[in-house]
Structure 1
Amino acid sequence: MFFRTLRTLAVSAALCSLGAASAHAQESTDPIKLTLHDWTGQLITTEIMGEVLKKAGYNVEYVQADYLAQFAGLESGDLHVAMEMWETTGREAMDAATATGKVENFGPTGMQAKEEWWYPTYMKEKCPGLPNWEALKDEACAEAFSTAETAPKGRYLGGPVTWGGFDDERVEALDLPFEVIHAGTDAALFAELESAYQRQAPILLWIYAPHWAPAKYEGEWVEFPEYTAECYTDPAWGSNPDMQYDCGKPFGEIWKVGWSGVKDKWPGAYEAIKAFQLDNNDMGAMITAVDLDGKSVSDVVGEWMTANEAKWSEWVK
């Protein structure tokens, strides 16, 4: 996994033709702090936005931050912009932060999020009731997904604990004979998938899109009871009358969020961030270039910037 260290990027004079000097002369020269997390797509999204802001004449600083804990910094103004807040895992934290008035939702990124339990197609022979989630309640099915560390329970490989997602709560609420094991990093999650898939070994894990994995590997997402907001807030909802999270994860937008002071301190940057749009296809191709083809995030972002100048220049005009 590629991680950027904390640094301040110098103001670029290369695109004065965009009118950056005049358009932003009255705006703060303080660095705009964009948060970095621990998955490739978010690093790409953030660097694209940072490089576009740099082209427009802004100082930009990349800051490593926890996906959910970052909201404390966004509320205080110590952090300024988070380019990916997934509807699937971050909606509650985002809504709580925006309710304070100190954090603003800057709108959708254009990408659609899906995150759920996923298994290779070859596992259906050992658990034929899939993709229905109730198949996982069968002891034989759970044992088919077990490892030495979890047997006789099945093993579900979740994302890093910082991603949230309520997988531990879901296992308990739905009374699944599974143990949740959290991968340490995004890279470790997909390295284990690659190893298992090559060996046709049992694996049940967190897969998300946009990403290259659903295209590269043949498999399916588990179909849990459909998510509703009440599932996460009202224990009486769903099959377990005493517990929340007895449903699947939500699907939907990937949002941009940030400190509410951005619009006053850097109004031009604020408009550019709101205008930012990518789609799943573009993002999937860039993640593939980094994770599978071995390119650096900076090289991939640079190639995208060159090929899409007409698009991103509209964000900062």
Structure 2
Amino acid sequence: MTTSKLTAAGLALALSTAGAFADVESSDPIKLTTHDWTGQIITTTLMGEVLKKAGYNVEYVQADYIAQFAGLKTGDLHVAMEIWETTGKEAMDEAIGTGNVVSAGPTGMKAIEEWWYPAYMEERCPGLPDWEALNACASEFATAETAPMGRYLGGPVTWGGFDEERVEALEMDFEVVHAGTDAALFAELEAAYQRQDPIVLWIYSPHWAPSKYKGSFVEFPAYSAECYADASVGINPDAAYDCGKPRGEIFKVAWSGVADKWPGASEAINDFHITSDEMGAMVGAVDLDGKTVDAVVAEWMASNESTWQGWIN
């Protein structure tokens, strides 16, 4: 486009864009990954909108939770805002071990991901929450597609979690059936809860579900890193994953080049911190109250300006 053909509106846009990136190290887009659950999309959008306030160019890229590490290693993707120690630790540690991915520290949220059942099932399956009691009454959780085996409703396949491996290692009479999406998982819980139907499924926190529904997490043999890595450790000497899921932090990770290319953004990402209660409330506002992610993020930013301003100043 020649100068003579640049319209007044186009010139204003060009000047505005130039101004937006004047104080940042690079106008290239910082690519933040989004996944298939509401909380992660909120976390990522919140970080992205804060970076935009600082003048950075931000791009949101849909990516699989575990498969994203390939792009983070090469620099085709730049930042992942939620790696749960419960399900993503092995992939995260491997990626960091290459030197191409770095930890940006914990988000402040605490992760729980485990099998969960509604409280009304305790009358039908005495001995809960013990996993052996659950297995003894597996038929109570059977469906037409799994009978006589019980059905465990897992999260989407992309979430990982080693549920099939655990069922095999503990010789449980359950079949793992994966929900197609986060929304489908909780829609099925809502339907079962309303009808008081049998169900055991993947529930995670921070999330609104453990507050809305009365129930408990199943108690499996205690997790250890050795249980996952060494078949000889645990109650089944011939199989790994014969224990519960880990609990712990939710981390941020980044392509190692982010700190060199966008040092200010890197510091802001490192400083990002939010609590599980804050996130649970925001997820509930989207999933239960019907608000948009953008609206919920905007409300949080309006109410917490001093917090996020501290990340970018």
TM-score (ref. length: structure 2): 0.93
What are the equivalent positions in structure 2 for 1:218-229 lying under 5 Å apart? 218-229=214-225
- Counterpart of 2:90 in structure 1 is 92
Confirm or deny: 8 A CA contact 2:21 2:27 kept in the other structure. Answer: no
- Counterpart of 1:202 in structure 2 is 198
- Report the CA distance between 1:126 and its aligned residue: 1.1
Identical residues among aligned pairs (%): 71
Q: Which amino acid letter does the alignment assign opposite residue 272 of structure 2? A: F
- Counterpart of 1:161 in structure 2 is 157
The residue matched to 2:55 in structure 1 has which SS? coil
- Counterpart of 2:234 in structure 1 is 238
- Report the CA distance between 1:59 and its aligned residue: 0.1
- Report the CA distance between 1:235 and its aligned residue: 0.1
Match of residue 106, structure 2, among 98, 105, 108: 108
Q: Which amino acid letter does the alignment assign opposite residue 74 of structure 1? A: L
In structure 2, distance between residues paired with 1:314 and 1:157: 41
Say whether residues 1:290 and 2:286 are aligned partners. Answer: yes
What are the equivalent positions in structure 2 for 1:129-168 lying under 5 Å apart? 129-138=127-136, 141-168=137-164
In structure 2, distance between residues paired with 1:86 and 1:211: 13
- Counterpart of 2:310 in structure 1 is 314
The residue matched to 2:88 in structure 1 has which SS? helix
Match of residue 45, structure 2, among 44, 47, 55: 47
Say whether residues 1:173 and 2:152 are aligned partners. Answer: no
Match of residue 188, structure 1, among 172, 184, 188: 184
Query: Which digits, 9 at most, give the CA deviation of each residue in 1:39-61, with x for residues without a partner?
Result: 00000000000000000000000
In structure 2, distance between residues paired with 1:21 and 1:305: 23
- Counterpart of 1:6 in structure 2 is none
Match of residue 34, structure 1, among 32, 35, 44: 32
Confirm or deny: 8 A CA contact 2:102 2:255 kept in the other structure. Answer: yes
Q: Which amino acid letter does the alignment assign opposite residue 298 of structure 1? A: D
Q: Which amino acid letter does the alignment assign opposite residue 181 of structure 2? A: T
In structure 2, distance between residues paired with 1:35 and 1:237: 36
Q: Structure 2: give runs of 5+ residues left out of the alignment.
A: 1-12
Specify whether residues 219 and 11 from structure 1 end up closer, same or farther in structure 2 by C-alpha distance, changes over 3 A only: farther
Confirm or deny: 8 A CA contact 1:104 1:257 kept in the other structure. Answer: yes
- Counterpart of 1:257 in structure 2 is 253
The residue matched to 1:208 in structure 2 has which SS? strand
- Counterpart of 2:4 in structure 1 is none
Q: Which runs of 4+ in 1 moved over 2 A?
A: 10-14, 19-22
Confirm or deny: 8 A CA contact 1:136 1:176 kept in the other structure. Answer: no
- Counterpart of 2:74 in structure 1 is 76
Q: Which amino acid letter does the alignment assign opposite residue 93 of structure 1? A: A
Q: Structure 1: give runs of 5+ residues left out of the alignment.
A: 1-9
- Counterpart of 1:213 in structure 2 is 209
Confirm or deny: 8 A CA contact 1:12 1:57 kept in the other structure. Answer: no
- Report the CA distance between 1:20 and its aligned residue: 8.1
- Report the CA distance between 1:12 and its aligned residue: 12
In structure 2, distance between residues paired with 1:93 and 1:129: 35
Aligned-residue CA RMSD (Å): 1.7
- Report the CA distance between 1:129 and its aligned residue: 1.0
Mark the structure with the bigger radius of gyration.
2
- Report the CA distance between 1:34 and its aligned residue: 0.1
In structure 2, distance between residues paired with 1:137 and 1:56: 53
- Report the CA distance between 1:136 and its aligned residue: 2.3
Q: Which amino acid letter does the alignment assign opposite residue 178 of structure 2? A: H
Say whether residues 1:270 and 2:255 are aligned partners. Answer: no
Specify whether residues 263 and 152 from structure 1 end up closer, same or farther in structure 2 by C-alpha distance, changes over 3 A only: same
In structure 2, distance between residues paired with 1:12 and 1:130: 64
